Amino acid sequence: MQRCFALLPAFLTLAKESGARCLDLLELGPSAGLNLLWDRYAYAYRHGSWGSSELTLRGVEYVPMPAEVLEAQVEVRNRRGIDLNPVDVTTEHGARLLRAFIWPGRVERGQRLKKAIEIFRREPPVLVRGDYMELLPGLLAERDESALMVVFQTASTGYLRPEQRAELRELLETAGREGPLGWVSTRAVEEREEKRDDSYELEIAHWPGGKRRFLLRCDFHGNWIRWRA
């Protein structure tokens, strides 16, 4: 869930630029779905804070996010994720599985995970088992334009073949021509403007228009961000 430190600015920027006050979230490859709860966490940035929660996410800002981004107010209406093998952290087995991925000695990370699981269990999002390349067209066709649907992912497209990523882009473009849509994504290696292996470029787009732009750079776990000035 630490990647939400980088995702929050993207969601707030989309909400502000599109004028949307309500979002429907659809995550591609969510694993356990903790990132779907980004608005239930609190955040501390150099220029201010956002949200109220027993879990506060912090990180390093090499180039800080502009203060005005934090002024955006938005409500999340629906949360869904599609994963080939979602992890159910409402069970003890699922929670233990996530804890097993934490490197030894990372006490703070373990404490964050414990709090995030507690938050998750109060009102879990919907996690659908399946191939998102197959299920996404139907879900996009069913979207309700009274909220801005935002499709997002943080790692899963890196496992797609180039032709699948091209197909995903076309799916989004087609859906964007039919109604408002938002997109937040890390870029695959061959899509990056800067060829570095220590971090992601995070891009956003919204339709109508659908122009993608590089918003910030973040490390793989969301421990730091560098706003693109």
Question: For all residues of the chain together, what is the average pLDDT?
Answer: 95
Residue 64 lies in a domain: yes
- The pair of structure tokens assigned to 100 is 């097993």
DSSP assignment of 52-96, as one string? --S-EEE-EEEEPPPGGGGG---EEEEEEEEESS---TTSHHHHH
Angle (CA) 184 187 191, round 5°: 135
pLDDT tens digits for range 64-96: 999 999 999 899 999 999 999 999 999 999 999
Mean pLDDT score, 98-117: 93
Q: Is 6 buried (19+), middle (13-18) or exposed (0-12) by CB count in 10 A?
A: buried
Task: Give the per-residue pLDDT at 63.
Answer: 97
Task: Note down the domain range covering 10.
Answer: 4-88+125-227
Task: Give the per-residue pLDDT at 229.
Answer: 61
Residue 50 lies in a domain: yes
- The pair of structure tokens assigned to 144 is 């309700």
Is it the case that residue 179 has pLDDT exceeding 80?
yes
Mean pLDDT score, 201-228: 95
- The pair of structure tokens assigned to 129 is 């088992």
- The pair of structure tokens assigned to 62 is 């090499």
Residue 95 lies in a domain: no
- Which segment of 38-47, 129-138, 183-192 scores lowest on mean pLDDT? 183-192
Is it the case that residue 42 has pLDDT exceeding 90?
yes
Strands (E), the chain: 22-28, 42-45, 48-50, 56-58, 60-63, 75-83, 126-129, 148-153, 181-186, 199-207, 213-219, 224-227
CB–CB of 177/53 below 8 Å?
no
Residue 109 lies in a domain: no
- The residues, ordered by sequence, that sit 6+ positions from 153 with a Cβ below 8 Å of its Cβ are 27, 28, 29, 184, 185, 186
Task: Give the per-residue pLDDT at 145.
Answer: 86
Mean pLDDT score, 163-186: 96
Task: Give the per-residue pLDDT at 130.
Answer: 98
pLDDT tens digits for range 191-211: 777 767 789 999 999 999 999
Residue 97 lies in a domain: no
Residue 106 lies in a domain: no
pLDDT tens digits for range 15-34: 999 999 999 999 999 999 99
Task: Give the per-residue pLDDT at 120.
Answer: 98
d(CA 1, CA 56): 11
Mean pLDDT score, 94-115: 94
Q: Which helix (H) or strand (E) holds 166?
A: helix 162-178
SS3 185: strand
| Domain count across the chain | 1
d(CA 10, CA 43): 14
Mean pLDDT score, 86-112: 94
Is it the case that residue 189 has pLDDT exceeding 90?
no
Residue 93 lies in a domain: no
Mean pLDDT score, 164-173: 96
Residue 46 lies in a domain: yes
Is it the case that residue 175 has pLDDT exceeding 70?
yes
Mean pLDDT score, 215-221: 95
